[in-house]
Structures are given as C-alpha cells and as structure tokens.
Structure 1
Amino acid sequence: MSQPNIIFILADDLGFGDLGCYGQTLIQTPCLDRMAAEGMRFARHYSGGPVCGPSRACLMTGQHQGNGYIKGNPPQGNDEPLRPEDTTLAEVLKEAGYETACIGKWGLGKAGSTGYPTLKGFDYFYGYDSHRTAHNYYPEHLWCNDQQVKLPTGAYSHDLFTEEALALVQRKRDQPFFMYLAYTLPHNPYNPPDDAPYSSMDWPEEYRNYAAMITRMDRDIGKLIDMLKELNIDGETMVILSSDHGPGSEYNREVADMVRFFRSSGPFRGMKRDVYDGGIHVPLLVRWPGTIHPGVSEHVSAFQDFMPTLAELASGTTPAGIDGISMVPTLLNQDGQRQHTLLYWEFINMGPIRKSRQALLDVSEGWKAIRIGSKGKLELYQLNDDAAETNNRAEDYPEVAARMESQFNSIRGPSNLWPLPELGDPPME
C-alpha cells in the first residue's frame, strides 16, 4: 500500500449531534452525510479533552491528558507552547516523506515560541497562532509561516482557509501530503457573513447563524472532496473529519439553550468543558475510496490513536511512550484490532475560581467514573445501558467505584502548570 495523502479536518466546538449522519434534523450537512455514507462513521470516538488546548495537544502528540504536557487551557487565553521534546504527528509524517501543512487554528504555541507550527513539523502554516486571536472571524491579519499577512477589511477567515486548502491540494497533488485543516467553525462568535440557508427560519438570530456556520463548513468540505475527484487523487487520499470537543457552552445560558435546541450533544449529557460524554464524545468520519469500506464502527477510539494510526499508514515511525492504539485494523477491515483498557479526561480551570472535573472510562466493562474535585464524591455510570449518564450507580457497585477511584490517583502525572484543585463545581445542565 502506497502512502496516502492525509487531510485531517478538525472542527471547533462541533457537537456529536450537529451532523445529519449523527441524527441532526434541523441543520443541513449534505456533504458530510455523503462523506459518512462513502466512508466509515465512528459511533464511539472521543476527543482528547473537553476544551481546545489539551484536545489538540493529544491529537498532535498521541498522549492523553493524564500523561500529556498540556493538560488544560491556561487562564486569560495565554497558550502554553509545546516543548522541543514533544514530538508531533506532523514531525512523524514529515520524517516519513510527507509535505506537511497546517491551515486554520493552531493554539499550541504562538509565534516566537517553541511550539510554533513551523518548529513542530509543518512545512507551511497559514492561520491563527493562538486560541484568543482565533475568536475573531474578521481579523486584521493572519500568520503565513513566520510573517503576519494583512487582510482586507471584512475578510472572513474561514473562507480564506478554504481557499488556501484548495490551493494547497492543487500544488501538492503529485507528492504525499498531510494537511491539518483546523477550521474555527462553529465556535462563537456566531457572526457569519450571512445566515443562508436559514434566513427565513423563525429562530433567534444566533441559532440561524450557528446553523449557517455548520452548513457553510459542510459546503466547503464538499468543495475539497470534489477537487480530489477532479484531480484524480480521490482514491489516493484519506479525509478525516472530527471535532476538538463537544458543542460550546461558554458558561452562557443562551448558548446552552441553543445547544439543547439543536440537540448538538446528541443523546449525551453535557457540553464543552464537561467530562460527561456530551463534552468529549465527538463525530469521526474517515473516507478513503477503494481502501476503507463504507460502514459504521463501534470501536472505542480517541484522539491519541491518530498518531500510531497515521504513522502506520504513512510507513512512518511511531514515537515511544504514547498512549494511542493504531486503528488500522478497524479502518482496513482486518483482524487484530487492539482495545484500550482505560480512557481519561479532565477539565482544570486555573482562573480565579479553581475547579476540576475528571473522567475515567473502563472500555471493556463500560463503566465510567466522574469525579468533581480531586476529593469529590465519585459518580459511576454504566454506559452500555445508560449512555446519557443519568443513573449514578456508585452506591450500588462500591467495589467498582473504589477500583476506579484508585485508578484516578495513578493515571494522572504531576503538573506544575495544572495542579489538581481539591474543590470542583457542578456541570452546566
């Protein structure tokens, strides 16, 4: 098998239930629904964390939040950069002979830091270097490699990213390439150039805009797939679509009401910042015509699995000490798929009100433990018959609760940047 081109599209704050192929009925996503029908749709895929920074770090390094260096979003939006010793997926693929590009939101090291994209394996970078700047869809400038590029007034950054992605595929079509297309849609603010095709809907303006942002992204991913077909590299290219975590709450009741209106979290409890499944259970679509057979996979996977998976498909070298497990047997319909034992997530807020939430999933038995605060009372859910996490079984199964409590205390490495607060707070319901 020759090295496939790899396009990894990461949406920002896209919920499990925001796509038609995952049950959405109000928001139109025809291109991604077609991608799901032509590829593999994962029913049980998890992000690297419930907020942007640690989730993206997990994707890039193959280490879960307990072992990874970046465990949370720093306060005031100041990005903590990846270190020189943190090997990224881009570095692995570059070493394997790929041309590598990052387009969109980075957030793992601003310009001048050790974590800047061109220092972490990307030959080309165009986009936002930080989380904070990515929250403005109409910026005065973006970064192109190590230079700031001024933009025309009113330019919508998402559209520029799509143009850049299409141009890059044109340029690199004759050589193996890895494009990390980190879209910023549908993260707030909800202010797209227009609200088509929902202008006539009797919804609040913010709802129309949110839906329009998702449909706009869907349209542009369709353009990208159409170009692969036009260039006759469709069968040589694997396209992946996922989201960095659950749909946004921003601790804003109006946004939370919108998430509920669209059922953006699907059948799950919670949303962004929660370690209930609504905050971490995300869509995953993988399309590679002629190689990946269409279907639905129930394999339990997470962001750390992309490092070994893509390294194997690219004939690269998987770094030692990662937490991921290759999904190649599942993708290629082969025997021998290994399974995770435990999956771990956390949310640590190091702002004025320190808070922590942790989650641990026993993959084989379906038990999921939630701990609010490092000394908080444990919640225990059996996901096999309670995917919505509504029935706390901790008192019914004290031995399971005790076992998972002890596992919490061993799975998380120490961190001076993100010490684990003792006090927590309830999730936004």
Structure 2
Amino acid sequence: MSQPNIIFILADDLGYGDLGAYGQKLIQTPHLDRMAAEGMRFTRHYSGGPVCGPSRACLMTGQHQGNGYIKGNPSQGNDVPLRPEDTILTEVLKEVGYETACIGKWGLGKAGSSGYPTHKGFDYFYGYDSHRVAHDYYPESLWRNEKLVKTPEGAYSHDLFTQEALDWVKRDWDRPFFLYLAYTTPHNPYNPPDNEPYSDMDWPEAYRNYAAMITRMDRDIGRLLDLLQELKIDEQTLVILTSDHGPGSEYKREIADMVRFFGSSGPYRGMKRDVYDGGIHVPLLVRWPGTIRSGVTDHISAFQDFMPTLAEIVGGAVPGNVDGISMVPTLLNLPGQGRHTWLYWEFISMGQIRKSRQSLLDVRTGWKAVRSGSKGKLELYQLEEDQAEADNLADVYPEITIRMERRLNEIRGHSDLWPLPELGELPLE
C-alpha cells in the first residue's frame, strides 16, 4: 500500500444529524452526501470529548480523555499547550516523509508555546492559534507560521481557509502531503456573509444562518474534492471528514431549540458539553477511491483510533502510550478488526457552566454509565436497546452498575489542571 496524500477535515460543532447522509432533511449537503456514497460512512463513531480542546488533543495524541494531558477546555482564555513529550499524529507523519499543513483552528498551543503547530510537526500553519480568538469569523489578522498577518477587510475566515487549502493542495508536490483542515463552521456566532440558499425560509435568522454555514462548508469541501480530480490525484488521496463533538450549545434555550428543530443530534440525547451520545456521537466519512470500498459500517470507533490507523497506512511508528485501535481492517474490508473494551469521556465545569459529568461505554456489551461529578449517582443505559439514553436501568441491574462504577473510578488519570469536582451541579458564580 503506497503512501497516500491525506486530507483530514474537522468541522466545529457539526452534529451527527446535520448531514443528509445521516438523515438531515432541511439542510442541503450534496457534496458530503456524495462523499458518503463514494466512501465509507461510519454510524458509530465517537469524538475524543464533548468540547473542543480535549477532543482535538485526543485526535492528535491518540489518547482518550482519561489518559490524555489535556482533559478540558481552557478557562478564561488561558490555553494549555501540548507538551514537548506529547507525540502527535503530525510528528509521526513527518518521520515517514510527509509534507504537513494545518489550516484553520488549532487550539492546542498558542504562538510561542510548546504546542504551537510549527513546533509539533507542521511545516505550515495558517489560522487561529487558540479557541477564544476563533469565535471571531471576521478577524483583522490570522497567524501564518510564526507571524500575525493582516486579513482582507471584511473577509470571512472560513472562505480564507478554503482558498488557502485549495492553493496549498495545488502545489507541485514531490512527496505525499497531510492537510489538517480544521474549519470553525458551524460553531457560533451564526453570522455568515449571507444565508443563501435559505434566505426565504420562514425560520428565525439564526436558523437560516446555521444552515447556510453548513451548506457553505459542504460547497467548499466539494471544491476540494473536485480539485483532486482535476489534479489527477483523486485515487492517491485519502479524505476524512468528522466533527470535534456534538452540535453547539452554550446552555442557551434558543440554541437548544435550534438543535432540536434541525435534529442536529440525530436520534441521540444531548448536545455539545454533554457526555450523553448527542454530545460525542459524530459523523465520520472516509473516502479513498479505488482503495476504500463504498459502504456503511457500524464498527465502534473513536478519535484515538486515527493515530494508529493513519500510522499503519503510511508505515509510521505508533507511540507506546496510544489508546486507539487501527481501523484499517474495517476500511480495507479485511479480517481481524480489533475492538475497544472501554470508551471514556468527561466534561469539566468551566466558567459559568457548572455541569461536570463522566461517561463510560462497555463496547462489548453496550452498557453505558453516566455520572455527575465524581460522587454523583450512576445512571445506566443499554445503548443497543436504548440509543436515546431515556431509560435509566441503574436500579434494575445493581451488579452491572457497581461494575461500571468501579471501572469509572479507575480509568481517569490524575490531573492537577483539571480536577474532577465531587458535585456535578454547582451554583453559578
């Protein structure tokens, strides 16, 4: 298997149900639906966490939230960077000869820190270095490698990232490339340059804008796929599309109402910041014409699996502390697909949001535990029969509840930066 080019597209706050290929009826996503039809669609894929920071750290390091260094989002804008000892996916790819670029939102180390993209294996970086600044879609400047550069007046950052990605791919490469295209859409604020093709819809303006942001992203991913064909590198390029967690929520009723209106969480309970499946169950599309067959898989996978998967594909060395399992057998229709035993997620209170929770999935049996804080009463759900997590069976199956709680107490490593509160619900500051 020759080393392919790799384009990894990460959406921000895109829900499982926001794409037509996953059941969306109101928002148009024709290019991603085509990608789903031409590639492999995963129906049981999980993000690394219910918020941006730990989810992206899991993606890059291959470690789940219990073992990973970055367990939560930064508080009050103070981003915690990846450390020099945290080996990430890009560094593995660099070791086997890849040219690498990060375009879009980073969030794992500000400029000058040990976690900045060009300090972690990226040859090129253009975008936002941190979470907070990425909330401005019309920035006056963005980082290009180690320098802040002016942006055109009134430019929409998503459009800048798309053009940057297209230009970067057009270069005459003499070796395989890895493009990490980390879009900020459809994260709020919902203020795109226009809300076509939904301008005439009888919806609240935020709904029209949200839908337009997703369709705009879909359009631009279509441009990227078309470019691969124009350059005649389509069959040499592996393209991956997923989302960092469930659809957006600031625990505001108007956003929650919009998520329900569009069915953005699909059939699952909750949304961003929840450790119920609505906050962590995300779309995953993988396309590599001529190598990966088209189809649908219910293989249970998570963000930590990308490190060993891509390392196996390119012939790279997997760090010894990785929690992921390669998905190559599933992707190439081969026997011997390994399976997780446990998957773990958590959300730690931040700022005014006081709702700390943990969750644990026993992949072999379908039992899932959810707990508020480290001392809260365990909730127990059987996902194979109750994907909406509506029927708490903790009192019905006390032995299973005890077993799940014991494992939940063991799986999380100590963290001085993100101590787990005893209480799940605290008064607002």
Q: What interval of TM-score do these two structures reach, taking the shorter chain for normalisation?
A: over 0.9
How far apart, CA to CA, are the structure 2 residues paired with 1:268 and 1:353? 22
Paired position in structure 1 for 2:314: 314
Structure 1 counterpart of 2:60: 60
Matched position secondary structure for 2:171: helix
Q: Aligned with 1:326: secondary structure?
A: coil
Amino acid at match of 2:274: D
> Are residues 131 and 274 of structure 1, via their aligned partners in 2, closer, same or farther at CA, if it must alter by over 3 Å?
same
In structure 2, the CA distance between the partners of 1:375 and 1:362, relative to structure 1 (3 Å rule), is same
Q: TM-score, normalised by structure 1?
A: 0.98
Question: In structure 2, how many angstroms separate the alpha carbons of the residues matched to 1:259 and 1:307?
Answer: 31
Amino acid at match of 1:403: R
Q: Which residue of 2 aligns with 1:300?
A: 300
Task: After superposing the two structures, state which structure 1 stretch, 352-361 or 276-285, moved more.
Answer: 352-361
Q: Which residue of 1 aligns with 2:106?
A: 106
Cα deviations by residue, 1:41-69 (Å, 9 ceiling, x for unpaired): 00000000000000000000000000000
Q: How far did 1:355 drift?
A: 4.2
Which residue does the alignment assign to 1:20? 20
Matching residue of 1:120: 120
The one-letter amino acid of 1:284's match is L
Give the Cα separation in 2 of the matches to 1:355 and 1:195: 33
| Rounded Cα–Cα distance in structure 1 between residues aligned with 2:136 and 2:70 | 24
* Gap regions ≥5 residues in structure 2: none
Q: Corresponding residue for 2:251?
A: 251
Match of 1:406 in 2: 406
Q: Alpha-carbon deviations, 1:228-251, whole Å to 9, x = none?
A: 000000000000000000000111
Question: Separation in 2 of the partners of 1:355 and 1:156?
Answer: 33
**Distance (whole Å) between structure 1 residues aligned to residue 193 and residue 80 of structure 2:** 32
Q: Contact 2:97/2:175 (CA < 8 Å) preserved in 1? A: no
Match of 2:261 in 1: 261
Give the counterpart letter for 1:330 in structure 2.
T
Q: Is the 8 A contact 1:39 1:289 kept in 2?
A: yes
In 2, the alpha carbon distance for the partners of 1:16 and 1:355 equals: 22
Q: 1:391 to 1:316 in 2, by over 3 A?
A: same
Which whole-Å deviations, capped at 9, do the CAs of 1:162-217 have from their partners, x for residues lacking one? 00100111115442000000000000000000000001100000000000000000
Contact 1:354 1:423 in 2 (8 A): no
On the 8 A contact 1:75/1:349 being kept in 2, the answer is no
- Structure 2 counterpart of 1:204, which letter? P
Q: 1 CA distance for matches of 2:287 and 2:83?
A: 32
Alignment correspondent of 2:333: 333
**1:76 Cα deviation (Å)?**
1.1
Q: 1-side partners of 2:238 and 2:132: how far apart?
A: 31
Q: Number of residues paired by the alignment?
A: 426
Deviations 1:312-345 (A, max 9, x none): 1011111111100000000000000000000000
1:80 CA drift (Å): 0.6
- Which runs of structure 2 are paired with 1:370-389 in the superposition (5 Å)? 370-389=370-389
Gaps of 5+ in 1: none
Give the counterpart letter for 2:413 in structure 1: G
Percentage identity across paired residues of the two chains: 79
Structure 1 residue 365, shift from structure 2 partner: 0.2
Q: For residue 274 of structure 1, what is the aligned residue in structure 2?
A: 274
Moved more, 74-83 or 326-335: 74-83
Shift of 1:353: 6.3
AA of the residue aligned to 2:310: L
What is the alpha-carbon distance in structure 1 between the residues aligned to residue 3 and residue 285 of structure 2? 20
TM-score by length of 2: 0.98
| Contact persistence 1:355–1:421 (CA under 8 A) | no
- Provide the C-alpha distance between the structure 2 equivalents of 1:265 and 1:352, rounded to a whole number of angstroms: 24
Q: 1:167 is paired with a residue of what secondary structure?
A: helix
How far apart, CA to CA, are the structure 2 residues paired with 1:266 and 1:34? Answer: 20
Contact 1:110 1:116 in 2 (8 A): yes
SS at match of 1:171: coil
Question: CA separation of 1:352/1:242 partners in 2, compared to 1, >3 Å: closer, same or farther?
Answer: closer
What residue number does 2:390 align with? 390
Deviation per residue, 1:291-312 (Å, 9 max, x gap):
0000001000000000000001
Contact 1:354 1:421 in 2 (8 A): no
Code of the residue aligned with 1:296 in structure 2: it is V
2:165 counterpart of 1:158: no
* Structure 1 residue matching 2:202: 3-state secondary structure: coil
Cα distance change, pair 350–156 in 1 and its aligned pair in 2 (3 A): closer
Tell me the equivalent position of 2:130.
130
Q: Displacement of 1:383 after TM fit?
A: 0.3
